[in-house]
Chains A and B, each alone.
Chain A
Amino acid sequence: MVTDHPSVQTIWTWLDQVPDPEIPAISLVDLGIIRDVAWVDDTLEVTVTPTYSGCPATSIINLDVEAALREHGIQHLRLKRQLSPAWTTDWMTEKGRSKLEAYGIAPPQPSGGPKQCPRCKSPHLERISQFGSTPCKAQWRCTDCLEPFDYFKCH
């Protein structure tokens, strides 16, 4: 039997066009929360891991994934939630990191704080608060240009 499933690679490309609902500058694939895409017989299984357990975007993300894949003609779809291994910002793509910075959000760094001001690139920074406008961000300020900015927390 000849299968006419779109390939898994094609589906990854489609998912890479679905924006994160809270930070639309990056895609769900950039964010690193799509953990697996696989065909099980005629059903497409997409494994998604939540960023933060209470992130209100989680249910919207599932809806967006479903809507995008249905639009591409996928009929049998199953979304699987995976908690372990827990999501980490290490899974964010390089492309996602540069897009974040261009958007004005400092990308996560292993040191635990932003490397430079996303606007003037100064390394002279101070933390305002460990929490920010969404669970994944903290508030920092540049002491050179004095602008506050969001830092995508290393998680």
Chain B
Amino acid sequence: MTQPQFEFLTRLGDNTLVLGHRVSEWCGHAPVLEEDIALANTALDLIGQTQLWLGLAGEVEGKGRDADTLAFHRDVWDFRSLLLVEQPNGDFGQTMMRQFLFDAWHSNYLAQLMDSSDSRIAAIAEKSTKEVTYHLERSSDTVIGLGDGTEESHVRMQKALDRLWPFVGEMFVSDEVDAAMVAEGIAPDPASLRGEFDTLVNNVLTAATLTRPQDDFAHKGGKTGGRHTEHLGHMLTQMQWLQRAYPDASW
């Protein structure tokens, strides 16, 4: 582990990048116009946050890589995003369930990062928190609306929850990068955030009349880059197509 802070920042930036790209795949395809706009705006916020996180990662690394280089010139094994965010969109319900599970973790994590000993990280967290608060408000409302909706929407939301639940645990696994960040007062221990996440998620799932899966088995390997699911590679071929075909092309 050469640069824990670089690792840590790419984790943050890759989460928002991969989820931002996934959500942007809905552009022009959402069930109704308002949702299309909301999804595009959410994606835009996430991509904006990516520029800040990966920009800082490149600065910390000091090898002249900027946010674009990190986003477009790395392959699957260099990505440090959570497995949850690379999962395919599925139907609208699955997209919103994925968003809710991520937002519930993200909002809490950013709130803690606002107290980071690194003022640059605290500033990005402060900026992002305002946006992520909207995301969480909307994804919670949608999960409740669809879960406690029609028979069809309820079944689909329960299926989405069951499908995505095995990817929740990874958000709270701590490793040596996290330990190094905790030691320097840069970031909280992910494991310490599970309680608040559970409270929030339980409240929303209850209101949505959905059943939280009993099994807490968790797939791992996204944030360490050790083993991504097959979906990330496919996504990158789309996202990085231009830079792969025409390396270093610019406007």
Contact = CB atoms under 8 A, between A and B. Distances in A.
Interface of A: 50, 52-56, 83-86, 128-133, 135, 139, 155
Contacts of A155: 130
B66 interface: no
A132 B37 contact: yes
B39 to A, nearest CB: 9
Contacts of A85: 126
A58 to B, nearest CB: 8
19 contacts: A52-B131, A53-B49, A53-B131, A55-B48, A84-B122, A84-B123, A84-B126, A86-B123, A86-B126, A129-B34, A130-B137, A130-B138, A131-B34, A131-B37, A131-B134, A133-B37, A135-B41, A135-B44, A155-B130
B19 interface: no
A129 B49 contact: no
A86 B34 CA distance: 27
Contacts of A86: 123, 126-127, 129-130
Given A84-B127, A130-B137, A53 B52 contact: yes
B127 A83 contact: yes
A114 to B, nearest CB: 16
A128 B33 CA distance: 11
A81 to B, nearest CB: 10
Given A53-B45, A56-B44, A86-B126, A130 B52 contact: no
Nearest to A129: B34
A133 B34 CA distance: 10
B51 interface: yes
Nearest to B122: A84
A29 B187 CA distance: 35
B47 interface: yes
B124 A83 contact: yes
A85 B138 CA distance: 25
Contacts, number: 65
Given A83-B124, A129-B37, A129-B38, A54 B48 contact: yes
B48 A130 contact: no
Interface in B37-65: 37-38, 41-42, 44-49, 51-52
A129 B134 CA distance: 12
B128 interface: yes
A133 to B, nearest CB: 7
B51 A53 contact: yes
Given A56-B44, A130-B138, A83 B37 contact: no
A129 B124 CA distance: 26
A133 B40 CA distance: 10
A56 B45 CA distance: 10
B126 A131 contact: no
Interface string B114-155: 000001001110111111001001100000000000000000
Given A84-B123, A135-B41, A135-B45, A53 B34 contact: no
A131 B130 contact: no
A128 B44 contact: no
- Please indicate which of the listed interface residues B38, B41, B49, B122 has the most CB atoms of chain A within 10 Å of its own CB: B41
Nearest to A55: B48
Contact of B128 (A53, A55, A135, A139): A53
Nearest to A132: B37
Interface string B28-39: 000000110110
Contacts of B41: 131-132, 135
A131 B38 contact: yes
A43 B126 CA distance: 30
A132 B138 CA distance: 13
A55 B40 CA distance: 12
